[in-house]
Homo-oligomer: A and B are copies of this chain.
């Protein structure tokens, strides 16, 4: 009892939290690295790591020989009994779950197709699976973090066109009262991952854009997504960059969404709206090499994409733009159109050194990676660590 109050206090201060956050962000860090980056004294480092080891948050492992002089510094690695985060990705047709430890290393993974899209069925099954994780890692689950292909508000999904969901609460995934449950848009979380661990890792301000059915993404500033009060931000696809005459399923008109992606390509080819816009877009891009009509459609899409990106760069002034999803394929298929329309849409002063358009380096796992990171953001706080040390067996 006394010891517990003791422990619960042990982590309130900055140092220990800062060390944990740094180790999470830089999984291969040694103690000496951490000292340098955080400006700690070697004595503090000894003290802090000792306490974090005692609390089963960190462990030390002999580093591989570096070939340099001096006493080698041990690597700070996640403790084998340390906290884990359960990340869930719910997309139109599939679900994925991964369990990750500090640093983001995945210790377990599962995935499957939705048997049906009915919210209660999907969520019931996911709750089962998450609960299995909760049981399999007794006392170790620190947060459940969900990425959804839809618009999110708090822990609710207000709309998810692909899933045909409207106002679905994900509260049932909160296995334990008081455990952090984080819900985010999948594009937002992919952007978070890309900004922290992918193509934007060295940048302070990253604009991430993903084209799937429409356009989504986020602006990530200093590792934090700018996603609004309710988490519904980043709906760049519903900026009115397009023809005001066209109405969008979202309820507005002239949305950028309608100019980019499968629906736009089908329209440009004189086809009816495709049942699966994403698939249709991939087909069109694939045939663009040989089919002039398809090529023109892809080029027009690339121009609409580039123009919007340019405008967003004017508005947000990022270091770098990271592209994902169909945007990558569009960029590969029509690089000239994309780049030139992007530059033409920039304000003049940006043109001497415009933010680079880069492609994702994380691929299809970025949503889950982002969800894991957001989960650990919630765990690696003074309060979160208090909860952990309270939960820990003495």
Contact = CB atoms under 8 A, between A and B. Distances in A.
Interface of A: 14, 151, 153, 158-159, 203-205, 219, 221, 226-236, 238-241, 244, 250-254, 307-308, 310-312, 314-319, 344-351
Given A151-B349, A252-B347, A229 B159 contact: no
Given A159-B347, A221-B226, A240-B345, 20 more contacts: A14-B14, A151-B347, A226-B226, A232-B350, A233-B317, A235-B317, A238-B315, A239-B312, A239-B314, A240-B241, A240-B308, A240-B310, A250-B348, A251-B346, A251-B347, A251-B351, A252-B311, A252-B345, A253-B344, A253-B345
A317 B232 contact: yes
B349 A315 contact: no
A251 B351 CA distance: 10
A319 B240 CA distance: 20
Query: 7 closest A-B pairs (Cβ-Cβ)?
Result: A228-B317, A251-B348, A233-B317, A238-B314, A239-B311, A158-B349, A232-B317
Contact of A252 (B153, B229, B252, B314): B314
A301 B241 CA distance: 17
Contact of A316 (B153, B226, B240): B226
Contact of A228 (B159, B251, B316, B348): B316
A389 B347 CA distance: 43
A315 B236 contact: yes
A17 to B, nearest CB: 12
**Count of this chain's copies in the oligomeric assembly:** 2
A346 B239 contact: no
A347 B205 CA distance: 26
15 contacts: A159-B347, A159-B349, A226-B316, A228-B316, A229-B318, A232-B349, A232-B350, A233-B316, A239-B314, A240-B308, A250-B314, A251-B346, A251-B347, A252-B311, A253-B345
Contacts of A319: 229
Contact of A315 (B159, B239, B254): B239
A180 to B, nearest CB: 19
A379 to B, nearest CB: 21
A252 B311 CA distance: 9
Contacts of A250: 314, 347-348
A317 B230 contact: yes
A338 B173 CA distance: 41
Given A151-B349, A349-B153, A351-B251, A317 B227 contact: yes
A130 B228 CA distance: 38
